[in-house]
Structure 1
Amino acid sequence: MTDSHLPSHIVGIKVRVSGRLMTERSQPRKTVQSVQVGSFSKNNLSLVDMASYSTKNKKGAFTVKVWISQRATK
């Protein structure tokens, strides 16, 4: 195994799905489901990237948001 010196590593990931999902019956558009693994500490060595994607299905619109937390190595 090689010793790699990366400038940062992932310490947490969070996914949020909101809107009307295909698996639900007639739910309100305020439906939100979230899952988080790892930590999202707010110190000077952390960096949080966020991306979102919105689209439509037969029931209406929904949005998927993803956050990735990285910690810089010294």
Structure 2
Amino acid sequence: MDLSFSRFEHDGRVTGLPPDLAVLMVGVTARQAASPTAMIHARLSSHVVTDTPFAPSHGAFNARVAALFTRWKGT
């Protein structure tokens, strides 16, 4: 797994993590997500979000622009 980012240095070294660490991180994440605490928390926080400016019910930040793009694309 390569966690380095591109820099403007031409002679910069690339930093990579060993594959075993990536596998370990995936395993830990899977076990944590499957824990009873995580499952209870998921059930507790699954409420319906009402229509707010940052989470509108139609799903688009600007419904008119989304409709315009949909008509323009023809889908």
**TM bin (shorter chain):** under 0.3
In terms of fraction of residues, the more helix-rich structure is 2
Query: TM-score of the superposition, structure 2-length normalised?
Result: 0.19
